[in-house]
Amino acid sequence: MADEKVTWFLDDTQVGGADSVNSLKVGGAEAQNIINVNSDGVATKITVSSAGTLNAYEGAVFSGGNGGDFGAFKVINGGNAIVSGAQIINNSGTQIGGAVLNAGDLTANDTIFSGNSGGLNGGALANQYTMHLNGVTLSGNTANYNGGAMLNNANGVAYISGGGFYDNLAKGAYGGALYNSIGVANINDTVFSGNKSTTNGGAIFNKDGSTLNISGGAINGNASVEGAGIYTINANMTLTDVNFTGNLATSFGGAVRNAGTTEVSIKGGVFTSNQVTGVGYGGAIYNTGSMTVSEATFSGNAAHHGGAISPSLNTAIMTLNNNVFTSNNARGYGGVIYNNAATVNFSGGSMTGNTAVSAGRDKHRLHQKRTGRVLRISHHRGERISHAGGS
């Protein structure tokens, strides 16, 4: 019996609170391999509440649950869940968090969330309190609206370290992997790859007073209309040494799109081969807000205007310090920067091998569209600047 798997059919199970057990162990040596499944179409639900604890260990599988608002389990009202080495796969919910809804304390270590679907937001996970994800993989999850893999909202605080978000999809709105709305997300050394949104924020959508801090990691090969890597609007964002490669937008911001008035900071990192198709702007970055970019490298990015960067709108402010621009390309104007009515402060750094071709002119590296705005240059090394008045 020691090596046999044990299957439990758990329907409407309460952990914690009145008239219930205070802990449930799933998987591991003592509990064998307990699988949470859908039993003959009966909704499977585990609710962890009121100082209750769910412990899921290596070998545990939560699969096939379709319990209404969530598929596998939810944590609420002071409940705790610790999931290590488990699989949470092919669950579905009609509301938020296709597999797991957390409004308590959730820690997941080296766990796989795959093939889950959410009727509204957060295909695999919805976090509304405190959540730690360590070495977790979220792949192939789908939300009908926002956050193909994960929703972080209602002042939820998420700590994500390592692991990755792969090939998740937001079908109807924003954030192919992560939708951060009125929440705080602190992310370290995590990979976002192959995620897609049918509108904006192919990997991440960050909005409405939220805070997004990302250190290290990679955002590669994501796709959307605007901000294929990250779309941030009226929210705080700090990126440190994050690499963006091969992200594809069809309108604005191949890697990053910033809108609104909140300050955004990017330091370090490499932007490589990101692009905007058609007549779009900002192969790597499109900015209509306030943004500072320092000590980053931009190489091989492409767009119609602004092969690397395009700031726009007369309220926008963009500060560029000690960045390196190499081999970026604009099919129109501004192989490096296309400035449309914004204020740009450009200091230090270098530009080499960048190209732009429009009306037979192939020497434009920094293109200033409207003379009524400000383009300040200091200590720049490399290619020349073009100024073009008019609208």
Mean pLDDT of 81-107: 93
Taking the CA of residue 391 as centre, how many other CA atoms within 13 Å lie in the half-sphere pointing to its CB? 2
The count of residues in the chain is 391
Domain annotation covers residue 84: yes
Please give the pLDDT value at position 336: 95
| Per-residue H/E/C for the chain | CCCCCEEECCCCEEECCCCCECEEEECHHHHCCEEECCECCECCCEEECCCCEEEECCCCEEECCCCCCCCCEEECCCCEEEEECCEEECCEECCCCCCEEECCEEEEECCEEECCEECCCCCCEEECCEEEEECCEEECCEECCCCCCEEEECCCEEEEECCEEECCEECCCCCCCEEEECCEEEEECCEEECCEECCECCCEEEECCCEEEEECCEEECCEEEECCCEEEECCEEEEECCEEECCEEEEECCCEEEECCCEEEEECCEEECCEECCCCECCCEEECCEEEEECCEEECCEECECCCEEEECCCCEEEEECCEEECCEECCCCCCEEEECCEEEEECCEEECCEECECCECCCCEEECCCCCCEEEECCEECCEEECCCC
Mean pLDDT of 362-377: 52
What's the number of domains the chain is made of? 1
Q: How confident is the model at residue 85 (pLDDT cuts 50, 70, 90)?
A: very high
Cβ(389)–Cβ(371) below 8 Å? yes
Domain annotation covers residue 237: yes
Domain annotation covers residue 321: yes
Containing domain of residue 249, as a range?
6-387
Please give the pLDDT value at position 43: 37
**Residue type at position 364:** H
Residue in 276, 326, 323 with CA at minimum distance from that of residue 299: 326
Q: How confident is the model at residue 107 (pLDDT cuts 50, 70, 90)?
A: very high
Domain annotation covers residue 227: yes
Mean pLDDT of 188-194: 98
Residue in 12, 27, 29, 5 with CA at minimum distance from that of residue 81: 27
CA gap 280, 380 in Å, rounded: 27
Domain annotation covers residue 292: yes
Please give the pLDDT value at position 377: 56
pTM above 0.85, yes or no: yes
Please give the pLDDT value at position 64: 82
Residues forming beta bridges with residue 78, ordered by sequence position: none
Cβ(171)–Cβ(198) below 8 Å? yes
Domain annotation covers residue 367: yes
| Minimum mean pLDDT range among 20-29, 103-112, 179-188 | 20-29
Domain annotation covers residue 1: no
Say yes or no to pLDDT of 168 above 60.
yes
Instruction: For residue range 258-316, list pLDDT tens digits in order.
Output: 998 888 999 999 999 999 998 999 999 999 999 999 999 999 999 999 999 999 998 99
Mean pLDDT of 47-66: 82
248 CB burial (10 A radius; 0-12, 13-18, 19+): buried
Higher local confidence (pLDDT), 362 or 98: 98
Percent of the chain at pLDDT > 90 equals 67
Say yes or no to pLDDT of 78 above 60.
yes
Terminal-residue alpha carbon distance, the chain: 78
Mean pLDDT of 336-355: 93
The token pair that represents 338 in the structure block? 């296309």
Mean pLDDT computed over every residue of the chain: 85
Please give the pLDDT value at position 72: 87
Domain annotation covers residue 285: yes
Say yes or no to pLDDT of 2 above 90.
no
CA gap 119, 101 in Å, rounded: 13
Compute and round to an integer the Cα radius of gyration of the chain: 23
Say yes or no to pLDDT of 388 above 70.
no
Mean pLDDT of 172-194: 97
Output the CA angle 75-80-82, nearest 5 degrees: 105
